[in-house]
């Protein structure tokens, strides 16, 4: 059996994941820095059926278009969903990462999940990153300015935080700026007719 005959179960085993939730798939781009497991030949030199990839936080494979479509039918994200990778650790430290669409901060939390950024970008958070990357930004951060959450979410002290959605927060300074920006946009322009 050749690589083009692998089943979804075999692909998931090779990718070292239990399911397709966080398996990125797509077409191999000419400018992509290839993983050592993928030949570095130009995509135009590859057989037509093998110009696609599947990747977990550990492994990247060259696959066929049919295999990519089979993975997506089983739940792998499509090209409209970005995968954000993190890792579990004994200290229970959580991390935040930039949205691939707008660069706002998204808190990755402690469980795999899917969500939508404030900008509308769909994403999935998976915990399969190998090796562990301790350079990721730790804890919850303001989605706009990136300042770390430093007070209780229940508190109403001098800098209360505002929940925007399930995994994005905004500090009081950025929330006030957003309200002021919205107010200035909704005011009639001088000389405009009503």
Strand order in the sheet with 137-138: 105-107, 95-98, 137-138
The confidence score (pLDDT) of residue 52 equals 95
> pLDDT tens digits, residue range 121-157?
999 999 999 999 999 999 999 999 999 987 555 555 5
Ranges 54-63, 93-102, 158-167, 174-183: which has the least confidence: 158-167
The structure's pTM equals 0.78
The confidence score (pLDDT) of residue 48 equals 57
Q: What is the mean pLDDT of residues 96-113?
A: 96
- The domain segmentation of the chain, as residue ranges, is 3-73, 81-183
Contacts of 100 (CB under 8 A, 6+ apart): 82, 84, 121, 123
Categorise residue 16: left if φ over 0, alpha if ψ from -120 to 50, beta otherwise.
Answer: left
Residue 17 has pLDDT above 70, yes or no: yes
> pLDDT tens digits, residue range 161-184?
899 999 999 999 999 998 888 888
């Amino acid at each position: 059996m050749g690589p083009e005959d692998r089943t979804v179960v075999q692909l998931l085993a090779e990718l070292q994941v239990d399911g397709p939730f966080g398996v990125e798939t797509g077409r191999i781009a000419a400018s992509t820095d290839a993983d050592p497991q993928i030949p570095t030949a130009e995509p135009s030199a590859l057989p037509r059926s093998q110009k696609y990839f599947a990747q977990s936080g550990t492994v990247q494979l060259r696959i066929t278009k049919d295999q990519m479509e089979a993975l997506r039918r089983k739940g792998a994200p499509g090209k409209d969903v970005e995968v954000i990778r993190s890792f579990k650790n004994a200290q229970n430290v959580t991390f935040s990462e930039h949205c691939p669409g707008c660069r706002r901060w998204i808190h990755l939390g402690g469980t795999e999940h899917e969500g939508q950024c404030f900008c509308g970008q769909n994403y999935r958070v998976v915990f399969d990153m190998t090796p562990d990357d301790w350079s990721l930004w730790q804890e919850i951060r303001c989605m706009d300015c990136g300042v770390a959450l430093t007070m209780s979410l229940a508190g109403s002290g001098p800098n209360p935080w505002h929940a925007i959605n399930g995994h994005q927060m905004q500090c009081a300074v950025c929330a006030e700026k957003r309200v002021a920006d919205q107010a200035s946009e909704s005011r009639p322009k001088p000389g405009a007719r009503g």
